[in-house]
């Protein structure tokens, strides 16, 4: 899938949010999208998924089966989890039993008869992720999927992502929590200064730089460095 000189803005004559985006997304590759708050990560993911069209340039070669889970799952719908997912499965022409399979794997099978507005934030997040996975997408786009997830599902989801990528799915995921970082061969896309660039994670010339910070600033500094695309290791005590 190719981004060719893509630019995007939400409104005609509004500010360009992204410009000069030239990228290739390879089948079977997991790409982690990093960047500061407001940099344009969600916007980029919507362009990848095809929910928004470029204002200039073109996105070519998007696979036909796309799974997309937004940052916040819209719970304001009058369905139970089961009927919502069964409906999504039938719209996409996939097997009805895929609902049970994903509910089980993501650990929300006991919530299938709960109505969407009654779900906790983390459970709603799981339903949003399940609907993206239902029909074995060739392109999977996940916007901050780990936010609010319990630790069991935080451990499961990277395995799900790895398995799909091994079968050829292109996975593009923004992940402030850095849960997919430990997976092998994760590529990185950095959203900054109004554009998106591939960070060469395999660059051989990296060195370790020690930075001393006040203890109370450790979270802030770590978040800043990670958002810039640096790998950060905390000292072990
Ligand atoms: N629907 C919209 N209409 C107009 N402007 C928008 C819309 N969605 C996002 N923006 C603007 O686009 C810019 C990029 O926002 P985006 O949500 O893509 O950033 P982000 O990197 O995902 O941020 P965060 O890390 O906080 O989720 C921001 O200036 C935001 O105000």
Q: Radius of gyration over alpha carbons of the chain, in Å?
A: 19
- Identify the pLDDT of residue 205: 56
* Centroid of ligand 1 to alpha carbon of 114 (angstroms): 31
Which residue's alpha carbon is at the smallest distance from atom 7 of ligand 1?
Answer: 10
- Identify the pLDDT of residue 203: 52
- Identify the pLDDT of residue 204: 53
* Centroid of ligand 1 to alpha carbon of 57 (angstroms): 20
Model confidence at 133, pLDDT cuts 50, 70, 90, reads very high
Question: Could you give the residue ranges of the DSSP H alpha helices within 31-150?
Answer: 41-49, 81-91, 97-105, 121-133
* Centroid of ligand 1 to alpha carbon of 38 (angstroms): 5
The first and second tokens of residue 44, run together, are 């980029």
Residue recorded with tokens 């051989």: 204
89-100 per-position pLDDT tens digit: 999 888 878 999
Model confidence at 201, pLDDT cuts 50, 70, 90, reads low
Residue 206: exposed, middle, or buried by beta-carbon count in 10 A (0-12, 13-18, 19+)?
A: exposed
Calculate mean pLDDT across residues 28-53: 96
- Identify the pLDDT of residue 96: 78
- How far is residue 229's CA from residue 235's CA, in Å, rounded to a whole number? 19
* Centroid of ligand 1 to alpha carbon of 1 (angstroms): 23
49-102 per-position pLDDT tens digit: 999 999 999 999 999 999 999 999 998 999 999 999 999 999 988 887 899 999
Which residue's alpha carbon is at the smallest distance from atom 28 of ligand 1?
Answer: 38
Closest by alpha carbon to 20, among 46, 44, 51? 44
- How far is residue 91's CA from residue 127's CA, in Å, rounded to a whole number? 16
Average pLDDT of the chain to the nearest whole number: 91
User: Is the whole model's pTM more than 0.80, yes or no?
Assistant: yes
Whether residue 194 contacts residue 44, with contact meaning beta carbons closer than 8 Å, is answered with: no
β strands within the chain, DSSP E: 2-8, 18-24, 30-34, 56-60, 66-69, 139-143, 170-174, 186-192, 195-199
Model confidence at 231, pLDDT cuts 50, 70, 90, reads confident
The first and second tokens of residue 195, run together, are 């554009």
């Amino acid at each position: 899938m190719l981004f060719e000189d893509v630019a995007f803005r939400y409104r005609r004559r509004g500010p360009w949010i992204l410009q000069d985006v030239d990228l290739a997304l390879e089948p079977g590759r997991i790409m982690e999208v990093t960047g500061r708050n407001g940099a344009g990560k969600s916007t980029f993911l919507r362009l990848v998924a095809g929910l928004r069209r470029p204002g200039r340039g073109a996105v070519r070669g998007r696979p036909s089966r796309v799974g997309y889970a937004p940052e916040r799952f819209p719970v304001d719908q009058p369905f139970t989890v089961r009927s919502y997912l069964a409906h999504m499965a039938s719209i996409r022409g996939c097997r009805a039993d895929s609902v049970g399979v994903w509910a089980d794997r993501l650990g929300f099978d006991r919530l299938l008869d709960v109505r969407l507005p009654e779900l906790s934030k983390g459970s709603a997040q799981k339903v949003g992720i399940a609907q993206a996975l239902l029909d074995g997408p060739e392109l999977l786009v996940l916007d901050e999927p780990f936010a609010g997830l319990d630790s069991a599902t935080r451990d499961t989801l990277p395995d799900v992502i790895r398995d799909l990528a091994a079968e050829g799915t292109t996975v593009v995921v923004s992940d402030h929590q850095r849960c997919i970082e430990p997976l092998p061969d994760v590529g990185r896309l950095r959203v900054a200064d109004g554009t998106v660039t591939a960070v060469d994670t395999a660059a051989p010339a990296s060195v370790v730089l020690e930075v001393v910070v006040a203890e109370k600033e450790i979270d802030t500094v770590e978040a800043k460095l990670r958002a810039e695309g640096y790998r950060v290791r905390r000292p072990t005590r």
